[in-house]
Structure 1
Amino acid sequence: MKKVILIFIGFTMLGIVSCTDDLNTEPKVQLTLDNLLQDDPEAIDGIVSRLYASFALSGPNGPGSSDISDDAGESPFLRGIVNLQDFSADGMKNRWGDDGLDQLTTTSNWDSNNKFFRYLYNRIYYTIPQCNNLIQVLNASDIADAQLARSEARFLRSLAYFYLIDAFGKGVLATEENLGESNPLPEATREELFNYVEAELLEIEADMPTTSDYGRANKYVVDMLLAKLYLNAEVYIGTPKYSEALTYVSKVINEGGYQLATNFGSNFTGDNDASSEIIYPLIADPINSQSYGNTTYIVNGNLSPDTMPIADFGASAGWQGHRATEAWYGLFGNLETSTDVRSTLFWTEGHNYEMTDYKEWTDGYPSIKFRNNDFGATSTATEFSGTDFPLYRLSDAYLMYAECVVRGASGGSMSLAVEYVNNVRTRSNASTISEGDLTLVFLIDERARELNLEGHRRTDLIRFGKFTGGSYLWPWKGNTPNGTSIPEHYKLFPIPQQAIGANPNLQQNPGY
């Protein structure tokens, strides 16, 4: 098999109806987790792999199974990241209007009963207790590789908490220390969660290996998450930490051994596991890890079997759902004359430049950035995608470095920042820039050109002060064709009503 990571051993949670009802349930297995590991110490690798898989798959038994009571197709973690990060922002829109999806794609009328907010919240609080269970057992274990598995579980728990901090701003701090607590846990503030994740990552960083199997975390994956946490610290806790972000993203760049892929598009194809640029992927496989919530959602969602040669993109199904807006492809200028390779990754035939009606399939251009065929080759079309999702890439690290320098981080070099940005641009045959061109205005646009549809956009717009208010408008922002101002409290999503009902210690975010 191309990738062997998903080893399911029945390690599922008992009684998690919404993951908000009980964060402390014991894992339901034929043996206790302690006995399981004593009986077969090698089972630890399967358990850890299952934790990694929780970010991409819906459940242990194929695309129709779900670890939680939410819809198996709609609720996977990665699908939630795309919905809440990309469709709520400027570059991408969805036309289906499924019971709450309209609220995301028009950035309007958000409320605590929207199922898509609940999906991500529940996935976060499914992954965290899974990690807590394993960590608790490993803390008392002397089996081989226990320390590495424990550090990996702590990383994955921190990654889940990062999305809680970013999307909802608060929750409960569930760890192995309070596992089994019968009373509802107290609410933890955004700063408390930030400090916890920061401490966890700093502690495990030294224990992580410098190399790892594909799809597993290593020291530089931890550094990248730390850099992301620090890059957004001014938003999260009101204290800028750009110098700290620069320190850790520099480690990724200088020590990680990653290199920009020669071809931009090769980072988003069925054989992207060969990319030298991807720092940390969420793995997909069309046979062994089928899901409606991994890159299948992105690839199939941007295709139409009626108007596009979907087999050319390695797909056997097209869902006619997602299209880019001019807020993305307009950044390249005239697409017919642009030399930027990234500008060619839109399907324009039969589609209108302006998105007059976001529910009309032919308004806006579908993004063909992600595809299921191998790069530069023909492949057998499949229903499910085998393209891995590059959660972290070197080009992102380069742009993060440049942003930290422009924001005044200590220890950085403006000339090196320009070099990094030009490495990203020349790889795509875009013109180079000079130091005078490297501004925050330029960088937020370059991040869109390079990283849209990769789960960063809403966070980026908030950090640059462009998400709420009316200073920057995009198609259908605030549910109007040309965009309108949206309120400041939209920088956070509402805490799902189901979670508040399950824990009286949780208070709703202001404005909802």
Structure 2
Amino acid sequence: MYRTVLFFLCLTPLIVSCTNLDESLYSQLNNDNFLKTDEEIVSAIGAAYSGVRAFQDFGNMWAVYCTADEVAIVGRTGGDWAGDGQDQQMTDHTWTNNNRFYNGTWLSFFGQVNKCNQLIYQLEQINSEKYANYISEIKTVRALWYMWLIDMWGNVPIIDKFDVPKGFLPSTNSRKEVYEFIEKEIKDNMRNLSKDVNSNTYGRANYWTALSILSKIYLNADVYTGTPQWQKALDVCNEIINSEKYHLTATYKENFIAKNENSTEAIFAIPFDAIYTQWQWFLPLVTLHGSSQQTFNLTNQPWNGLSVQTDFFYKFEDQDIRKKDNFLWGPQYTSSGEPLLDPGYEKDTAIDPDGPQINFTPTFISLYNTARQSGARVIKWEIEMGGSGQMNSDFFMFRYSDILLMKAEALWRLNPNSIEALNIINLFRERAQVPIFTSLDANKIVDERGKELFMEGWRRSDLIRFNKYNDPTIFKPSISESYRRLFPIPKEQIDANPKLKQNPGYN
């Protein structure tokens, strides 16, 4: 099943590719020379998914991960990851509208919107009635991209057509308009989506994916529109739960092993393969020290960039099994058990007091000119012994655990004394082997979400929803400006399109 879906998705980049809004793709795919048989149609649908893997590419979701309190790209002594400081600006909340991460993510996400628009146009030109199910599927994928766009930038253009005049430049829509667009797209199209959960729907947008998108925009509706929609969020989560299509796994870790496609929690999966999807998700290379190559016998040497933020590491109780499943810290050893040495360790003991053996120290206080061993490292997804550092784990953009946790939050928002909400949160406490709660408050809920959903993409929006995103941290000792709850429209995009309106607070 996994290999079939993966092969389908890996071939489709050969069919369509796009990164810029003004690129014309029509010459690559037209009615005269393609899309004449059902087989060609099915193959072409994969173009809507080929870019989904870029979601985990360095430079896209890192803009989300590093602006929250989970992880940071650390500038090391010796110059590793120091550069121009744009990596670190995401974490200390000093980014500007020139930051390359936001421009790259903007281009990537709108490029995927453009792919979807092209495919919809093609199918409607051929036979919109016959291919209604496929059109609805692609519109759901497009709504998925807008779910991220509304969360990151808020006020963005709604582009839902491919056959636009030459020189077309889109205007900015309000965040409320984008919210209403996403909601309408899902509601209008979900009836055409499959409710099956099997090999044919794995890695594709089905009915439950559509509901998951709705659950997210309803949970954040107060942030997006000023009007809470807790009951709607609860109703959508209940529909997913009551379907009994998905189930909580016995252990946390089994969701993140290599070849994890059999997880009962995978609602919408992004398939990865260490051979067929190389250089699209390579987390071990970004987070591990270069010498850690000897720990895992990797064929590629890691780059020593990503560390877990100090405050976040210490949110986990010592007995929480998610702590050891998510993080690598302490003295390091080779695969044969010998002390792992850093050939470039800092001999100045004030910088590196531990000597040449690598000791990943969870506590560090600076993002700049920091010891090469500073910070716990991310091992949430299995690092295979003897592998390349490319991932063999699928990434679950929507996971059943999140649906349960969203239900718990919605219940708590509607009734802070909800016993059902408390019981749901305690399901995760019990699975993590930590004492259960006897009551709930905002801190417990947002922290439990953080521990369960670490680096799954939701921490930033969670912190914003709980009014904690701008709080001081070790790396930003003062409260950051409230306007940073939205990213800047990239300067390059505004320069190219004067119809775009910059978000408040940015020049």
Query: Normalization by structure 1: what TM-score?
Result: 0.84
Paired residue for 1:391, among 378, 397, 401?
397
The answer to whether structure 1 residue 19 and structure 2 residue 20 are counterparts is yes
Within 5 Å, which residues of 2 pair with 1:241-256? 241-256=229-244
Query: Following the alignment from structure 2 to structure 1, what is the Cα–Cα distance between the partners of residues 255 and 205?
Result: 18
CA distance in 2, matches of 1:449, 1:236: 25
Q: How do 1:341-360 residues align onto structure 2 when only pairs under 5 Å count? A: 341-349=322-330, 350-358=359-367, 359-360=370-371
Aligned partner of 2:274 in structure 1 is 286
User: C-alpha distance in 2, partners of 1:221/1:185?
Assistant: 28
Deviations 1:110-152 (A, max 9, x none): 2111110001100111011111111112223338972222111
2:109 pairs with 1:124: yes
Amino acid at match of 2:231: S
Residue 55 of structure 1 aligns to which amino acid in structure 2? V
Deviates more, 1:425-434 or 1:118-127: 425-434
1:219 Cα deviation (Å)? Answer: 0.8
- Name the residue aligned to 1:89: 68
Aligned-residue RMSD, C-alpha: 2.4
Q: Superposed, which structure 2 residues align to 1:13-412 within 5 Å?
A: 13=17, 19-20=20-21, 22=22, 25-29=24-28, 32-33=30-31, 35-38=33-36, 40-57=37-54, 78-95=57-74, 96-99=81-84, 100-108=86-94, 110-142=95-127, 146-176=131-161, 179-180=164-165, 182-211=167-196, 212-291=200-279, 293-294=280-281, 296=282, 298-307=283-292, 309-311=294-296, 316-333=300-317, 335=318, 338-349=319-330, 350-358=359-367, 359-373=370-384, 380-408=386-414
Give the whole-Å Cα distance in 2 for the aligned partners of 1:414 and 1:309.
50
C-alpha distance in structure 2 between counterparts of 1:371 and 1:139, whole Å? 42
Q: Is the 8 A contact 1:310 1:317 kept in 2?
A: no
Task: Read off the aligned partner of 2:189 and give its amino acid letter.
Answer: I
Kindly provide the amino acid, as one letter, of the partner of residue 467 in structure 2: G
Please point out which of 464, 467, 472 is paired with 1:465.
467
How far apart are residue 224 of structure 1 and its match? 0.6
C-alpha distance in 2 between matches for 1:316 and 1:254: 45
Inter-CA distance 272–315: structure 2 relative to 1 (3 Å threshold):
farther
CA contact (8 A) 2:293 2:299 kept: no
User: Quick one: which amino acid aligns to residue 103 of structure 1?
Assistant: Q
Deviation at 1:447, TM superposition (A): 1.0
Contact 1:7–1:47, Cα closer than 8 Å, also in 2? no
Aligned-partner Cα distance in 2 for 1:114–1:510: 16
Q: What is the rounded CA distance, in whole Å, between the counterparts of 1:208 and 1:404 in structure 2?
A: 26
Which stretch shifts more, 173-182 or 346-355?
Answer: 173-182
Deviation at 1:44, TM superposition (A): 2.0
**1:258 counterpart SS class:** coil
| Separation in 1, partners of 2:392, 2:186 | 30
The 3 A distance-change label for structure 1 pair 372 and 352 is: closer
CA distance in 1, matches of 2:56, 2:107: 9
User: What is residue 448 of structure 1 aligned with on the other side?
Assistant: 450
Supply the distance in 2 between the matched residues of 1:251 and 1:34 (Cα, whole angstroms): 43
Deviation digits for residues 219-251 of structure 1 (CA, Å, limit 9, x no counterpart): 111101100011111111111111111111111
Q: What is the deviation of 1:201?
A: 0.7
Determine the C-alpha separation between the residues in 2 that align with 1:98 and 1:12. Answer: 34
**Conservation of the 8 A alpha-carbon contact between 2:293 and 2:300:** no
Post-superposition offset of 1:326: 2.5
Shift of 1:261: 1.6
Amino acid at match of 1:136: Y
Task: Measure how far apart 1:311 and its partner are.
Answer: 1.9
Are the structure 2 counterparts of residues 36 and 177 from structure 1 closer, same or farther at C-alpha, using a change threshold of 3 Å? closer
Q: How many residues align?
A: 462
Q: Distance in 1 between matches of 2:35 and 2:278?
A: 28
SS in 1 for 2:214: helix
Q: CA deviation at 1:286?
A: 0.9
Amino acid at match of 2:89: Q
In structure 1, what is the Cα distance between the partners aligned to 2:130 and 2:304?
Answer: 46
In 2: Cα distance, 1:191 partner to 1:34 partner: 40
Deviation at 1:33, TM superposition (A): 4.2
Q: Which amino acid aligns with 1:200?
A: E
Q: Whole-Å Cα distance in 2 between the matches of residues 256 and 45 of structure 1?
A: 28
Separation in structure 1 between the aligned mates of residue 295 and residue 50 of structure 2, nearest angstrom: 27
SS, match of residue 360 in structure 2: coil
180 and 360 in structure 1: CA distance in 2 versus 1, 3 angstrom threshold: farther
Q: 1:417/1:504 Cα in 2 relative to 1: closer, same or farther (>3 Å)?
A: same
Q: Residue 274 of structure 1: SS of its match in structure 2?
A: coil
Structure 1 residues 119 and 145, CA, compared in 2 at 3 Å: closer, same or farther? farther
Report SS of the residue matched to 2:272.
coil
- Structure 1 segments unaligned to the other structure (5+ residues): 58-75, 374-378, 478-482
SS across alignment from 1:364: coil
SS in 1 for 2:315: helix
Q: Tell me the SS of whatever aligns to 1:118.
A: helix
| CA spacing shift, 1:171–1:339, aligned 2, 3 Å | closer
CA distance in 2, matches of 1:270, 1:144: 40
Q: Which runs of 4+ in 1 moved over 6 A?
A: none
Matches within 5 A, 1:416-495: 416-434=420-438, 437-468=439-470, 472-477=471-476, 483-495=477-489
2:35 maps to amino acid: L
Whole-angstrom distance in 1 between the partners of 2:260 and 2:299 = 16
Most deviating of 206-215 and 483-492: 206-215
Counterpart Cα distance in 1 of 2:226 and 2:379: 38
Query: 1:33–1:156: structure 2 CA closer, same or farther, 3 Å change rule?
Result: farther
Change (3 A) 1:503 1:19: same
Q: CA deviation at 1:11?
A: 2.8
Give the superposition deviation at 1:105: 2.6
Distance 1:235 1:162, change over 3 A: same
Identity among equivalent pairs (%): 26
Deviation string 1:175-204 (CA, Å, 9 cap, x unpaired) is: 127634643222211111111111001111
Q: Corresponding residue for 2:77?
A: none
Partners in 2 of 1:442 and 1:502 — Cα distance? 45
